[in-house]
Amino acid sequence: MSGFFDIPSDLQHSWWGLIGLHLREALLPVLAGLLLALPLGQLCVRLRWLYAPVLWVTTVLYAIPSLAFFVVLIDYTGQTELTVMIPLTVYSLVVLVPAIVDAVRSVPQETLAAATAMGFGPVRRYLQVQLPIAVPAIIAGLRVATVSSISLVSVGTLIGNQGALGNLLHDATIYNRPELAWNAVITMAVLAMLADAALVLVRVLLTPWMPSGGSGGAGGGRRTTPKTAGARPPVPAAEPALKDAAR
């Protein structure tokens, strides 16, 4: 245990430095994927025929092994962080695009009609009405994409010391130091849990009208009575969003 935090000098980073590098390589692709998925998802909502081919393309790209992605990119971007982050951005789309499309489509039509009657144009209606109501589903997609990205960064060790904490797995074999592997696995797991908790907090802050414990999970099924089971929860949630957007 004494060598748990004794990072080999060939990694050129301290333990905290590897954590910062890992978070940068994991979170920037998710952010880039979100910025791509938001307009792409809205386009798929407006042009329904486009959703199937977009989903097909993102799924096919997701099926490409990361090592094959590296081989293609390395001639253009070299053995750099960018070579790791581009595939992670592409992989995030397969989660974020369906989450955004399904969330935006679930907004009640009466809410959209009310926003239109208040003079909201398509862009303002999307940004100030549809997206706020769709936040819980979008955050759920972000949670999956973020945890996956934190895990997949470690594959970057295959292209020359670009795997951040994943490089510890390689050095654990080279130097016969299993504690380095434990360090990498435990640290990545803790980072994933902290990132997931942070996104849950963001969801709570952005959707104050939602029950603090209700995230659509299986735990709350017993609390629904027959009289309320048929009610549509997005409608009450839409009212605060419309009032705030109208200010």
Residue 161: its pLDDT value, please?
65
Asked if residues 182 and 4 have their Cβ atoms less than 8 Å apart, the reply is yes
Does 164 fall in a domain? yes
Half-sphere exposure of 173 (CA within 13 A, CB side): 5
Q: Which H/E stretch holds residue 107?
A: none
Percentage of residues in the chain having pLDDT higher than 90: 28
Does the structure show a pLDDT above 70 at 212?
no
The number of folded domains in the chain is 1
CA 38, 41, 45: angle at the middle one, nearest 5? 135
Asked if residues 88 and 152 have their Cβ atoms less than 8 Å apart, the reply is yes
Residue 230: its pLDDT value, please?
40
Does 75 fall in a domain? yes
CA-to-CA separations, 153 to 41, 158, 165, 166, 173, in angstroms, rounded = 25, 10, 8, 7, 18
Percentage of residues in the chain having pLDDT higher than 70: 80
Does 222 fall in a domain? no
Query: For the chain, how far is it from start to end, CA to CA, in angstroms?
Result: 58
Asked if residues 146 and 34 have their Cβ atoms less than 8 Å apart, the reply is no
Encode pLDDT of 174-189 as tens digits: 888 888 889 889 999 9
Q: What is the mean pLDDT of residues 211-216?
A: 51
Does 227 fall in a domain? no
Does the structure show a pLDDT above 70 at 80?
yes
* 175: CATH: 1.10.3720.10
Residue 73: its pLDDT value, please?
86
CA 32 centroid distance within chain: 10
Does 3 fall in a domain? no
Q: Which tops the pLDDT comparison, 143 or 163?
A: 143
The string over 188-204, giving b where at least 16 C-beta atoms fall within 10 Å of a residue's C-beta and e elsewhere, is beebbeebbeebeeebb
Residue 224: its pLDDT value, please?
40
Does 238 fall in a domain? yes
* Mean model confidence pLDDT for the chain: 79
- Given CA atoms 183, 189, 193, 196 in this order, what sign does their dihedral have? positive
Does the structure show a pLDDT above 80 at 70?
yes
Range of the domain at 72: 15-210+233-246
Encode pLDDT of 224-237 as tens digits: 433 433 444 444 44
At 133, the pLDDT band (50, 70, 90 cuts) reads confident
SS3 content of the chain, % helix, strand, coil (to 5): 80, 0, 20
Q: What is the mean pLDDT of residues 114-129?
A: 81
Does the structure show a pLDDT above 70 at 93?
yes
Backbone angles phi, psi at 6, to 5 degrees: -85, 90
Q: What is the mean pLDDT of residues 17-40?
A: 92
